[in-house]
Chain A
Amino acid sequence: MLKNLRGRVAFIFEEENFDVDQIVGVKNIKITDVIELAKLAMQSYDQDFHAKVRPGDLLVGGPNFGYGHPHYPPMRAMLHLGIGGVIAESFSPGYWRGEISMGFPQASCSGILGLVERWDELELDWDKNEVRNLTKGRTLLIEPLSYADRQMLDAGGLIPYLKRPMPSAEPAQRGTSSCNAQA
């Protein structure tokens, strides 16, 4: 099943309705070479980001992260730089669907902005549905993944997910929260 994510907070995007295209810059959004994209990533936020980031580090976002017209290159660049996933207050559905289908972990966690500072060490536990701030010794719940999203992350994205046997037509589970972040 899904492995816990563990890493430092590499950056905090506090802005509400954050447009992820800003990560590489709109003028670079059509670049397909991931090495070039990774070089361009975060230049308007932290020019030394590449040097500071370590494999497994995580990004933290604000409410409605990924709003607007999200494209795939920014997070392809982040994956290439070793980022292990994004934890945000909440997500915009189009962005969420796109990244989960790429097998890039995303977790919706109300209160995350108040839980962390940059470079804190976090652990994201998919079975307990919680984020632990190992630096500060505090914990918050995340919204549980839907069955399909969990399977897709576990498989490593849409294509390997679809190669698994089709789930039964019976409901896999009833949502446990009234505001689950998966449709």
Chain B
Amino acid sequence: MGYTITEKILARVSGKAAVKAGDEVMAKPDFVIAYDFPGYTDVYFRQMKEEFGIERVAEPDRYAIFIDHMVPAATPKEEELHIGTRQWCADNGVPLYERRGIGHQVAAEVGYAVPGAFVVHFDGHISQLGTFGTLAMGIRRNLLEAFVRDRISIKVPQTVRVNLHGTLQKGVMARDVFHHLVRTLGPASCRFQVLEIAGPALSQISNEGLQTITALAMFTGAVTAIVNPDEGRLAYALPRAKKKIEPVFGDPDAEYAAVHDLDLTNLEPLVVIPPTPANSRNLSDFLGLEIHAGYLGSCASGRLEDLRIAAKVLQGRQVKSGFQLNVVPTSQEIMAAAGREGLISILAEAGAFISSPSCDYCFGRIATMTANQRAVSTGTLNVRGRMGSPDSEIYLCNAATVAASAIEGAIADPRKYL
């Protein structure tokens, strides 16, 4: 029996010739990543010193800190948190990425998505580095382990493989593929396992689209998602890689907990209705539902292909009066590229409010909804209160649907505008 890509990566970082799913190992992450957030990084920094007597991390280049939440700061307390983070990074010699964009995206841009690397974060959406064959896991508060020891305890997870087949129709995006996967396999289908995306249709999905799919892996119960990177993924990741690691690939006879096949040919745009990411539905069943706000952004969207399709929908048209459309490119690099392509001007002329990159729209820190308001969103999540009042509602959908709904002030099918 062969090994999955996950088993091969975890074998290397635990210093073993081979490991199999179910083994418990002590693994040394290639990179330890976090964004500054109250209750997480400030607590780690304090606990390192006070509980463990550690003044500085031993290998600062193995760590990376991002400031992407509470950007820009709205209260003195938020700015104080950022000041503490900057100081800690300076004292420790740890790289800090501030105002570059949403960290999970910037991490890929600056070279932490090294094919074959093992990366940990407290936030589970780091799984999107799996697009490039990186095994990246969100381990919540347990990330402290990676700040006070060089190795962390981990049980090698099993893998569920999903083979994508067929051809995506116009107006159907990677986002829909993910929600289709949840609808078909279930929100617990990959519990405590790795979601491995494969199959002939994978090559149609761009790096950006795959970042969307892998970013959302946690909503299948998966601990992360990964692919065996093809030439296109490697061509992006290898030239910028922060560490030289030989890329690894799963064996043809690797052992999977389950293998599923998903045909994308007849897939239509989907919408995920509140209050849980488990609620995938056909968009066609919700057309005309009144909507007050739209959010195009987050670590699971807001990339060039999302901005391009939104601009295509909105070109020469207007956001409905009173509708609040917020467009937030995911990184400075993406925003600059969108500017060069003329997308920003199209979106601005249509009436979109365009913000520099920030995580803050996704969790309601700004653009906050009040009771009885309803949004379409490419954000990560639609649980109660995620974007404001617990009595507001979030309908998750693809970027084209957000743009089309902004024109009509109601859930709309984007395909008629494409």
A contact set with B: CB distance below 8 Å: 17, 19, 21, 25-27, 29, 63-64, 67-69, 90-94, 96-98, 101-102, 146-148, 158-159, 162-163, 166-169, 171-175, 178-183
Contacts and interface: CB of A to CB of B under 8 A. Distances in A.
A93 B221 contact: yes
Given A19-B383, A25-B390, A67-B276, A174 B142 contact: no
B154 interface: yes
Interface string B198-227: 000000000000000000001001110000
Interface size classification for chain B? 35 or more
Contacts of A172: 24
B23 interface: yes
A69 B381 CA distance: 8
Nearest to A98: B140
Contacts of B20: 174
B19 interface: yes
Interface stretch (B90-98, B108-116, B161-169, B184-192): B184-192
Interface of B: 14-15, 19-26, 47, 51-52, 124, 138-142, 144-145, 148-149, 151, 153-155, 157-158, 187-188, 191-193, 218, 221-223, 257, 275-278, 381, 383-386, 389-390
A172 B154 CA distance: 11
9 contacts: A67-B187, A68-B383, A93-B221, A148-B24, A148-B153, A162-B144, A167-B153, A172-B24, A175-B21
The 5 closest A-B pairs by CB, nearest first: A175-B22, A148-B153, A26-B385, A64-B188, A26-B390
A94 B157 contact: no
Contacts of B383: 19, 21, 26, 68-69
A69 B386 contact: yes
B105 to A, nearest CB: 20
Given A67-B188, A182-B192, 11 more contacts: A90-B188, A92-B191, A93-B223, A96-B192, A159-B144, A163-B52, A166-B149, A166-B151, A169-B25, A179-B192, A183-B157
B187 A29 contact: no
Contacts of A96: 192
Contacts of B257: 178-179
Contacts of A162: 51-52, 144-145, 148-149
A146 B218 contact: no
Given A64-B191, A93-B192, A158-B144, A169 B155 contact: no
Given A69-B383, A90-B191, A180 B144 contact: no
Contacts of A178: 22, 158, 257
Most chain B CB within 10 A, of A159, A173, A183, is at: A183
A147 B158 CA distance: 17
A171 B25 contact: yes
Contacts of B24: 146-148, 171-175
B192 A158 contact: no
A158 B142 contact: yes
Contact of A17 (B23, B148, B188): B188
A169 B15 contact: yes
A180 B188 contact: no
Contact of B278 (A17, A91, A167, A175): A17
B71 to A, nearest CB: 20
Contacts of A19: 275-276, 383-384
A158 to B, nearest CB: 6
Nearest to B223: A183
Contacts of A167: 26, 153
B77 to A, nearest CB: 14
A182 B278 contact: no
Contacts of B52: 162-163
B187 A17 contact: yes
